[in-house]
Amino acid sequence: MVLATTPTPRPRHLPLPNTSNGDSRTHHHAHLLRLLKECTDMSQLKQIHAHTLRTTSPTNPHTLFLQSRILHFSSLADINYAFRVFDQIEKPNSFMWNTLLRACARSSEREEQAILFYCKMLEEGDVFPDEYTFPFVLRACAYLFALSEGKQAHGNAVKLGFDSDVYVSNSLIHLYASCGCLELAEKVFEEMRERRSIVSWNVMIDSYVRVGEFETALKVFGEMQKVFDPDGYTMQSVINACAGLGALYLGMWAHGYVLRKCDSSVANDVLINSSLVDMYCKCGSLKLAQQVFDWMPKRDVTSWNYMILGLALHGQAEAALKCFDRLVETESFAPNSITFVGVLSACNHRGMVEEGRKFFDMMVKDYRIEPRLEHYGCLVDLLARAGFIDEALNLVTTMPVKPDTVIWRSLLDACSKQHEARIELSQEMARQILESSEGDASSGVYVLLSRIYASASRWNDVGSIRKLMEEEGITKEPGCSLIEIDGITHEFFAGDTSHPRSREIFRVLDTINEKLEAVGYAPECSQGDLIDEKRWQSVGVGLHSERIAIAFGLLNLKPGVPIRIFKNLRICNDCHKVTKLISELFEVEIIMRDRARFHHFRDGVCSCMDYW
């Protein structure tokens, strides 16, 4: 039996004009231009281009316009062909140069070529850059973090008088912010003759968000509101700033603004809703994040990633893995590298070793994704904390990328929690961290090493660590906890008495301690506190920053409203035990984010199942 086959479609031949029939040159060019407007693919374009080369004069101004349209079309469909077209043009004008600059700057693989093409434009000297040239060049410089080249382009823009153009200024702000030069970005913004364009404000706000200056971004947003009503781009940056700060109330206001003030295209926008999912997860409201995700009319892989990462961050490992299964089964796009960071993080937060191994292999074998440092870090931490330290070490020594401080610290932290201290191994890992760390990691390393010495009853070594820290002026990072009440963030440190309502807070702490004693609670000194004996004697775990924040929450929040706390360090064993008891004794839900994850305390139980 012979099966019918679909015939291969042949390229449609266009009704190209015949110049031998006496048509005027003007009519000939007009007909070619009309064909170009109706052109739908490269096959048709090549026919028109070939006919143009054969039947038109390169010196005719109409021909130059035809060439510019051919160049524009090919730059969108086949950039290599566009460069060949450009090379055939005797005297390309600024529009033609800018057409290829734009195509290169918008490509994820040709940004460097955009800079080189701009340099060629300057070298040939036949055409000067204009106000359309510089935004494309500066965009490429920003993507490549090419600060030096960007500054040179800025200088040329000043010489040619285009630095005051609003689009050039916006591109300069984006360049300097991307390269971490906020002072230069601010200078360009302040020197703009007029900031009546909302784009300028959006670029500045987004720039602050990208470098983690969330509070400043919101301050600029406040100033912008005096002049412009925010649009969708503004609100996405504001939502991202709220996510960075953990500012739930402001994030809910931003969400409400999008629903009330923006049109439906913004309210249903995938990027906006994905940012809302991320914001609610990071602000501790997993329920609202899930609602936004479920109501989204359309999702992309980023939406799924935010939901999987959020579930993992809150210790909902099973839900995160089910979300991954839904992505694989129902969507037409495949999971990417970030998806597997979320899946491996979920396994790590619950100690699911076999599942972690399975997903790591799936990523490599089934999806052909090359593991990055984040993937190795998740798997190493998962293995080490579950007690498979030798397997974790073997993975570190065989992986093709150099381990960073985070990986070594994961191993050192795991060793510090082992019943049998591995002193020599811990000392070697501490050395690796101190040699490879770029920031101030010394304090944490010394604390972990002292904990290991203490678990082995090597008190002389604990004393030596404390003396070394005193000699080098290294202090343990102070614990700090934030709590948001009615949109106002309150900050507390260990033993903090600076708050205006300190007396009331400490009366609540006294009540907490009385109830804890009544149920038989006795405080325990964390081994980490042994590194700072004086501080332990004066403060003790009873006045850790999260305890004070919890007392303030009990003092202010209405019944039934969860207490949400953000802490800069990992919660200690004693505070974790106490917070479970408080949630039961005071019938309150406490949601606490420490350095690693969220803990949901309710009815005397924590969502982490005491594994963190």
Q: Among 182-186, 453-457, 491-495, 539-543, which is the least confidently predicted range?
A: 539-543
SS3 call for 485: strand
Does residue 18 register a pLDDT over 80?
Answer: no
For range 431-459, the mean pLDDT: 77
At residue 17, does pLDDT exceed 70? no
Residue type, 578: V
Local confidence band at 2 (pLDDT 50, 70, 90 cut-offs): very low
Better pLDDT: 372 or 526: 372
C-alpha 398/C-alpha 378 separation (Å) is: 16
Residues 6+ apart with CB under 8 A from 36: 45, 48, 66, 69, 70, 73
What confidence category does residue 14 fall into, taking pLDDT thresholds of 50, 70 and 90? Answer: low
pLDDT, tens digit, for every residue of 130-159? 999 999 999 999 999 999 999 999 999 999
Answer yes or no: is pLDDT of 493 > 70.
Answer: yes
pLDDT above 90: residue 527: no
For the chain, the structural domain boundaries read 404-475, 482-606
Condensed to tens digits (0 to 9), the pLDDT of residues 67-98 reads 888 888 888 878 888 888 888 888 889 999 99
Give the residue-averaged pLDDT of 478-489: 90
| Span 12-22, average pLDDT | 52
**Which tokens go with 404?**
């960073």
- Contact between 555 and 501 under an 8 Å Cβ cutoff? The reply is yes
Q: What's the CA gap between 574 and 544, in Å, rounded? A: 10
Least confidently predicted of 177-191, 423-437, 519-533: 519-533
pLDDT value of position 518: 95
pLDDT of 9 over the 50 cut: no
Please say whether the beta carbons of 528 and 461 come within 8 A.
Answer: no
The answer to whether 149 and 116 are in contact (CB under 8 A) is no
Of the ranges 70-84, 184-198, 477-491, 514-528, which one carries the lowest mean pLDDT score? 514-528
The C-alpha atoms of residue 206 and residue 173 are separated, in whole angstroms, by 10
Chain-centroid distance, C-alpha 570: 22
Alpha-carbon 403 to chain mean position: 21
Q: How far apart are CA 589 and CA 567, in angstroms?
A: 16
Tell me: pLDDT of 291 over 80.
yes
Torsional class of 495: left (φ above 0), alpha (ψ -120 to 50), beta (otherwise)? left
- Reference 412, options 437, 454, 436, 446; nearest CA is 446
Would you call 338 helix, strand, or coil by DSSP?
A: helix
Mention every residue, 6+ apart, whose C-beta is less than 8 A from residue 193.
Answer: 164
Neighbouring C-beta atoms of residue 586, cutoff 10 Å: 17
Report yes or no: 160 and 133 within 8 Å, Cβ to Cβ: no
Mean pLDDT, rounded, for 469-495: 87
CA diameter of the chain? 107
pLDDT grade for 20, boundaries at 50, 70 and 90: very low
Pseudo-torsion of CA 15, 17, 23, 28, nearest 10°?
110
Residue range 260-282: mean pLDDT, rounded: 94
Structure tokens at 168: 């050039």
State the distance between the two ends of the chain, measured CA to CA, in whole angstroms: 65
